[in-house]
């Protein structure tokens, strides 16, 4: 159990376009999902916390108008990178908590975004 999927796994886009990444919990309901960004050979940096039915909470320094997060159901959260630029190229990873009482996060396989 506790499988999280992400789509797409890889995406290449032109500068100025928008890209949507989906994160799904396949076999459990996730009231909370998290979005991370990981640059090569670096650690995971939390971008935002996404709660079902409410606005996401963004970490300091993360532009909420650039990284749009929607958590419309208990199994789906989406991250849209708007007007992407080459510096947005990174590995974007989502995670989900299975229940409120547990701290463990289950990670999706990640989406590698390359902006040309």
Partner 1 sequence: GQQVMQIPQYQHVQEGEDFTTYCNSSTTLSNIQWYKQRPGGHPVFLIQLVKSGEVKKQKRLTFQFGEAKKNSSLHITATQTTDVGTYFCAGGNFGNEKLTFGTGTRLTIIP
In the complex, which residues of this chain contact partner 1 (CB under 8 A)? 32, 34, 36, 41-46, 49, 60, 93, 95, 97, 103-110
Nearer to partner 1, 36 or 88 (CB): 36
**Contact yes or no for 97/31 (Cβ under 8 A):** yes
Least spacing, CB of residue 55 vs partner 1, in Å? 16
Least spacing, CB of residue 56 vs partner 1, in Å? 13
**Contact yes or no for 69/56 (Cβ under 8 A):** yes
59 sits in which H/E element = none
Nearer to partner 1, 43 or 65 (CB): 43
Least spacing, CB of residue 15 vs partner 1, in Å? 25
CA distance 103 to 81: 27
Closest Cα to residue 18, out of 100, 79, 107? 79
Nearer to partner 1, 65 or 103 (CB): 103
């Amino acid at each position: 159990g506790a499988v999280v999927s992400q789509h797409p796994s890889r995406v290449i886009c032109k500068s100025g376009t928008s890209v949507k990444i989906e994160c799904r919990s396949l076999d459990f309901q996730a009231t909370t999902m998290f979005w991370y960004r990981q640059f090569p050979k670096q650690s995971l940096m939390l971008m935002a916390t996404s709660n079902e039915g409410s606005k996401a909470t963004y970490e300091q320094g993360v532009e909420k108008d650039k990284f749009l997060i929607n958590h419309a159901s208990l199994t789906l959260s989406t991250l849209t990178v708007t007007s992407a630029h080459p510096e947005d190229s990174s590995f974007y990873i989502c995670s989900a908590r299975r229940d409120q009482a547990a701290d463990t996060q289950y990670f999706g396989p990640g989406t590698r975004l390359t902006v040309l």
